[in-house]
Every structure is written in C-alpha cells, then in structure tokens.
Amino acid sequence: MNSLLSISQLSAFKIKNLCNLASCIEKETIKPYCGGKIIATLFFEPSTRTKLSFQTATIKIRGTVIDLDNNSSLKKGESEEDTVRTVSQYADLLVIRHPKRGGVDHLASYSSVPVINAGDGGNEHPTQALLDYYTIKKRKPTGKITIMFTGDLLQSRTLNSLVKLLDMAKDDYELIYSNGANEQLQLYKHTQIDENQISDIIHKVDVLYMTRFQIERYTAVNNPYRSNFVMSKELANKMKGDAIIMHPLPRLTELPPEIDSDPRAVYFEQVKNGLYVRMAILLGCLEK
C-alpha cells in the first residue's frame, strides 16, 4: 500500500500506467473493484470537487467513505495529529487536504495507513495534476504542446504539480508563464511574458491553463502582484481551432461563463476525468 504525497514520487512509467487504468475505467473495459475498502476524507480546508470526486470514486470502486465533518472533536480542541492517528485505526486509506504547505506530509507521519495529498497550501495537488494531464493527453495525444499559464502563478498548487508532472512524463512541451511565477515554477525551462502580451501570443498556444487568485493564501502584508487577466470571446476567437481552455475550478471573474459554450472549454471535462483518474489512484494506493 502506497501514499501519494507529491508528484515527484511517480515515474513516467507509473504516470502512464495510471492514465491507462483511468482510460480502461472510462471505457468500461474493466470493472474497478477495491475489495470493500474504507476511505476516509479529512479536509482541513474547503473543497467541492476534490472531496466529492474522491467520495464518488470510492463508491464507484465499491468501497465505503467515512468523512470528518465540521462537528468532530477538533471542536473540543483535539489536535489534527490525534485526529489522523484515530481515523487511521478505522480506514484503509486517508485523503487529506491541509491549508499549510507540508501539512499533509506532516499529518501522514501520524497515519498507520496510506495517505493521498488532496492539496497542501500553495505547495502541491498531485491528483489534480494527474487529471489535468489525463485531460491534455486525451485531447492532444501526440506532438509538441505549447501551454500558457495565467492567473495566480505564485500560490496555485495545481500548477506546481502539473509542471513537475510534465517534466517527469518527458513529453515535448513548451511552457509560457504570465507574471508572478514562484521559485518552484522558475526551475523549469519556460518563456516569461507580461500579461498584456497574452493577446499577441494566444494564437500560438495549444493549452491555455487558467487559475484563480488564491485569495485565502494572502494577507494584506504579503499581497503581491495580482493578475488582471480575464478571458473573453474575442481572445478565444484568436485561439487555434483545436486548442483547449483549462481551469482547475473554482473560477472567479477571470473565466466568464460566456466561454463555457466554446467547444474548446474543457474545465467541466476535467471534473469528469477527475473521477476516472481518482478511481485509478485509489486502486493504485490500495494495491498490496
């Protein structure tokens, strides 16, 4: 049984295997079955998609979900560490989200069963990266791909994990960043552009990956550069006919609903793919 705490733990081979398994699940060529295992979701930070898709994925592989709700003994002052120790006596696997960088790694050391990182502060979100990659490969299986990242490049954990994954998968990618990339993202070969150049470059990109401003990760003191980029029909008209527009969601004003009817908008497809990918991840982590 294995934990998934960071994308760095996976090899190119494992990433391809997980995507193949997710694809078999999607095409219904296999009937995924986990042997009635119990999965606990412990979210110390808000979530809609990640939590509900892990819970749905568990039900679909015929496991059972237990969830730490807002009425746990944390309210009586019990520590997160003791909470994790306790729940790992009940469940076969824990899915944990935490507001602090490294918070999931820390809590995993108190668990007696494998842990999946469902997002730790502005650091990593490995399962989102896998579903993003799966979505990209489904739409663009071969050839060099140019990906432009916009929005909050300082605190978006989805970007940290996806860029790491793209590097590890050894596919042919060109990365373009708009303003504000963090130190982690700077480690990878990329082209840096200013946000007001997006409209001149957008015709070249195969994947536009947007993110929201991570408002909960900033205080008035550390409030840095804030993106003003807003997607529009006019910009979409400049994009390639077979480009895709991605967003991990939730969105704020950067991605207006008028884009949703564009066939290149795949953000709700990402949501759907997340289910297949998370079923594959759960099976992988539960494997003996």
- In degrees, rounded to 5, the angle at the alpha carbon of residue 281 between the alpha carbons of residues 265 and 110 is 120
**Tokens 């978006």 sit on residue:** 156
* The amino acid at 121: G
By beta-carbon proximity to ligand NCD, the closer residue of 146 and 158 is 158
Judged by CB, which is closer to ligand NCD: 248, or 284?
248
Beta bridge partners of 4: 116
Contact 62, 39 (CB under 8 A): no
Shortest distance in whole angstroms from residue 271 CB to ligand NCD: 8
Smallest distance, Å, CB 250 to ligand NCD? Answer: 6
The secondary structure element, H or E, covering residue 94 is strand 93-98
CB of 76 to ligand NCD, least distance (A): 28
Please, are residues 281 and 39 in contact by the beta-carbon 8 Å criterion?
Answer: no
Residues 6+ apart with CB under 8 A from 229: 150, 151, 178, 195, 198, 210, 254
3-state class of 266 per DSSP?
coil
Distance CA 23, CA 159 (A): 23
Q: How many CB atoms lie within 10 A of CB 121?
A: 20
Is the Cα dihedral 133, 191, 124, 6 positive or negative? positive
| Closer by beta carbon to ligand NCD, 135 or else 211 | 211
Nearer to ligand NCD, 88 or 267 (CB): 267
Residue 8 C-beta: closest distance to ligand NCD, Å: 18
CB 26, min distance to ligand NCD, A: 19
For ligand NCD, which residue has the nearest CB? 248
Write down the least CB distance from residue 268 to ligand NCD, Å: 12
Kindly list the residues in this chain that would bind ligand NCD in the complex (CB under 6 A). Answer: 49-50, 119, 125, 128, 157-158, 211-212, 214, 248-250
**Residue 3 Cβ vs ligand NCD, minimum distance, rounded to whole Å:** 18
Q: Looking at beta carbons only, is 54 or 110 nearer to ligand NCD?
A: 54
- If the CB atoms of residues 61 and 249 are measured against ligand NCD, the closer one turns out to be 249
Which is nearer to ligand NCD, 88 or 127 (by Cβ)?
127
Separation between Cα atoms, residue 54 and residue 278, nearest integer Å = 6
Sequence-distant (6+) residues with CB within 8 A of 181 are 149, 153, 154, 190, 192
